[in-house]
Every structure is written in structure tokens, then in C-alpha cells.
Amino acid sequence: MKRLARPSAVQRLVEKHRAAGRRVGLVPTMGALHEGHASLVRRARRECDVVVVSIFVNPTQFGPREDFSRYPRTLGNDLKLLRREGCDLVFAPSVRDMYPEGFGTMVVPGPLASELEGAHRPGHFAGVATVCVKLFTICKPHRAYFGAKDYQQALVVEQVAHHLNLDLRVVMCPTRRDLDGLALSSRNRFLSAAEREVALALPRAIREAARVLRSGRATPRAAQRRGRAALSRVKGLVPDYFEVRQADTLLPCSPKDRRVVILAAARVGKTRLIDNLRVFLN
């Protein structure tokens, strides 16, 4: 497994692989890797000849009062996990490598990025889109792998790649969960035992909304109201949103929609968590 920091060195190496006819898969991460990331690497390993994992805590996707400085950085453990999973190349640049002095170009995504996470984190998706376009340009993947836990992010990146005619496929992979049902996240390590118990209300409310939708006992709007009410009753949890949207566009649901997604975000203590579940209706 090689580890490189300079974009130019990564570009040269990947270009050699592509010239030799090898398919390149990229797993973009911010480090603090867990089993969810490992599952993305395994998927890339099955489908590609060369697996590249980027580790970069991207400052442009954090707001001024968000947790950039607090975000966990565990490079040593991350490298052990990646060796175990058969990663070929780790791209771990510095902020200066990615945003040299004088950098002033940003990718501004379309309306898909303006609500839900975009409404609660202004500028977040411009930072995500910018760093992803840079990673795609540097690493030149045929496929890029994202976890469905960040559902809106994956759709935004897919749309940016399509709109900018980038020659790659964005692959969204299933959310991985702990045994208690909480979606795996690098931020889960900030939760105390008591806070984790509170946080479990998020996946429970989503599962209950999915159940009543599948049963036909509630419309998307009614399931949305029930989910919001359930979260509002949980002491120690501050909901940001609970929405049922059309799965492919994140537009509000119409009565004819059969593919929907339930998306929710909430704060528990100082930790902000997001989760979602796609539902296919009869």
C-alpha cells in the first residue's frame, strides 16, 4: 500500500494504471475510519483493479461554528484498517496541498443542495462539491464510492459529476449500522453512553415512519408529522428536520411516488447526527 500527499504524484501514478487498462476506484473519506468505510473499500476492491482511498478533513465543508477542529483524526488506525482491506493507494494531503495560497475557485451545486442539509449548513455542499471535483481530477477514478448514510451528499455529488461531464460513476453503497441500530459515523465516538441511548430515537423514528408507509396506514405527509412528533418528545434530542421526500430528486412527495426516502437530522449534546432510509411502496 502506497501513501502519497502530493496531488501531482497521485496523478502520475493513477495515469500509469489507467494507461495499463486498470479500473480505478476511489473512496473519498475524512478519516476516522470505521466498518462503514471498510465496506466501501471492499466494494471498490471487488469492482476495480486499483483502490484509492483519500483521507482529508475538508475545511471548506465546515461552517464557522461547526466541529472542524474537533473532528477526529486517527491516521495511524486508518492506515491499519486500509492495509487490512487491501487498499492500494492512500491519498492523504495537507490543507495546503489541496488549497494552496490564493485558492479561490468553488463549485456551486444546484437547487438539490439548497435544502435539508444545505438549509441547515449553508455553504456545506459547495465545499463538498469542490473537494470532490478536486479529488476526481487528481485521482481520476472510473468509480467513486459513497455511503448512503450521507444520502443527500451522494445525490449532490452524482449531479455535479453529471452536470460537469466528469467521466466516472458515483456508486452509493448501503448504510452500515451498529447492533443497536445507530448508523455508523465517525462522530459517534463523541457520544457518551447516555447520549447514545438518546440518539437511538433517530433510527427508531425513521423505522416507524417506514413501517406505517409500507402498511399504507399513512401518507408521506402523515408519516412525516408522526416522525417529527416522536423526535420532539425525546428529552436531550434537538431535531433539525424529519422529512419524507421523493428518493431520486428529494422533491416533496406526490401521491404517485413509489420510491421515497425518509431523512432526519438531530443534535444530541454537542454531536449532530443524520440518518435516512429508502422505502419502496406498493
Q: At which residue does the C-alpha cell 415512519 appear?
A: 209
CB 112 within 8 A of CB 155: yes
Question: pLDDT tens digits for 267-276?
Answer: 999 999 999 9
Question: pLDDT tens digits for 137-182?
Answer: 999 999 999 999 999 999 999 999 999 999 999 999 999 999 999 9
pLDDT (average), residues 38-63: 98
* Gap between the Cα atoms of 269 and 237, Å rounded: 8
Question: pLDDT tens digits for 94-139?
Answer: 999 999 999 999 999 999 999 999 999 999 999 999 999 999 999 9
Query: How many distinct helices (H) and strands (E) make up the chain?
Result: 10, 9
Superfamily for domain range 2-173: HUPs (3.40.50.620)
User: Residue 262: which of 182, 180, 149, 162 has the closest Cα?
Assistant: 149
CB 53 within 8 A of CB 32: no
Please give the pLDDT value at position 65.
87
Beta bridge partners of 98: none
Q: Is 19's pLDDT higher than 90?
A: yes
A 10 A CB-CB count for 180 gives 10
Beta bridge partners of 93: none
User: What residues contact 198, with CB distance under 8 A and at least 6 apart?
Assistant: 234, 235, 236, 237, 268
Whole-structure pTM value: 0.97
pLDDT (average), residues 53-80: 96
pLDDT (average), residues 18-25: 98
Q: How many residues does the chain have?
A: 282
Of residues 17, 34, 37, 124, which has the active-site annotation? 37
A 10 A CB-CB count for 124 gives 21
Percent of residues in the chain assigned helix, strand, coil, to nearest 5: 45, 20, 35
b/e map 246-278, b = 16+ CB within 10 Å: bbeebeebeeebeebbbbbbbebeebbbbbbbb
CB 108 within 8 A of CB 129: yes
- Give ranges for CATH 3.40.50.620 in the chain: 2-173
Q: Is the dihedral of CA 150, 151, 153, 154 positive or negative?
A: positive
CATH number (3.30.70.20, 3.30.1300.10, 3.40.309.10, 3.40.50.150) of 186-277 reads: 3.30.1300.10
Where would I find the beta strands (DSSP E) of 5-148? 24-29, 50-55, 89-91, 143-147
Please give the pLDDT value at position 254.
86
Each as own residue / partner, the long-range contacts of residues 11-19 (CB below 8 Å, 24 or more positions apart, any chain) are 11/138, 11/139, 11/140, 13/89, 14/50, 14/52, 14/89, 14/138, 14/139, 14/140, 15/140, 17/49, 17/50, 18/140
Whether 37 is a known active-site residue: answer: yes
Mean residue pLDDT across the chain: 97
Question: pLDDT tens digits for 202-221?
Answer: 999 999 999 999 999 899 99
Residue 102 buriedness (CB in 10 A; 0-12 / 13-18 / 19+): exposed
| Residue 27 three-state SS | strand
Percent with pLDDT over 70 in the chain: 100
Please give the pLDDT value at position 184.
98
Query: How does residue 5 score in pLDDT terms, banded at 50, 70 and 90?
Result: very high
Question: pLDDT tens digits for 239-279?
Answer: 999 999 999 999 999 888 999 999 999 999 999 999 999 99
- Give ranges for CATH 3.30.1300.10 in the chain: 186-277
Query: How does residue 282 score in pLDDT terms, banded at 50, 70 and 90?
Result: confident
